[in-house]
Amino acid sequence: MIENYPWYKTLDQSDYSLNQGDFIDSLPILKPLLDIDINQERNTDVSEFNVVILTQSCDLANDKIEFVLVAPYYPMENFISEQHDTLKSNKEIKSFKEKVRLGFLPGYHLLNKCELENYSKDFSIVDFRNVYGVHIGFLREYTKKLGKRLRLLPPYREHLSQSFAKFFMRVGLPTDIPSFK
């Protein structure tokens, strides 16, 4: 039964379609200029992120948007090793892994590891707190250069989308009901 619901599939190089849940690696994200002077050269930073598409597939297919929403994702072990100040002990790391797996950290979503032939990937942490809008024309052209790509399949794709929605619709109550413990 479980084999009928794989997490991922690979896309051929000739498949240029864009869907929610598609992984785009090393996508360049331009940092906007603080001061815009017409016809003046300025330096700006470009950061490359491995991202997953959050925009709904139907909007992408029907060209209903100009900017595609993407969220960066990181290999889980790399992500954890970067959190020097907050995840120090094995206990804290184990607790973090369980919390993100169960959805107790709204800003983050855990994706399963990928063990497809010729395409293996560690567990990944998707960061909803820092999302980016990428022009769809640029994204389509960039994707054509990538070759084989990875796609997140249903219902894990919808689970990602739901998790993102929960992050954005969360409400902080000024006076909450106290714990029953």
Partner 1 sequence: MYPNLKNGIIATSILSSFISSTNIPIPDERELLQIPNSVNQNRNNVLSSLSKKYDETDIKLQTQINKIISKANSFKGKELEKEASIFEDDFVLNDEEYFVGKPTITYTIKVKVKSVSKFKPTLFDKELLEL
**Closest distance of CB 158 from partner 1, Å:** 21
- In angstroms, the CA 97 to CA 117 distance is 26
One of 15, 77, 98, 158 touching partner 1 (CB under 8 A): 98
Q: Which residue has the tokens 């640029």?
A: 138
The string of DSSP letters for 115-151 reads: EETTEEE--EEEESSS-EEEEHHHHHHHHHTT-SEEE
One of 4, 117, 168, 172 touching partner 1 (CB under 8 A): 172
One of 169, 170, 177, 180 touching partner 1 (CB under 8 A): 170
One of 14, 43, 118, 120 touching partner 1 (CB under 8 A): 43
CB 124 within 8 A of CB 76: yes
CB count within 10 Å of CB 127 equals: 17
Binding interface with partner 1 (CB under 8 A):
26, 29-30, 33, 36-50, 62-66, 72, 74, 79, 82-83, 86-87, 91, 94-95, 98-99, 102, 104-108, 125, 127, 129-130, 170, 172
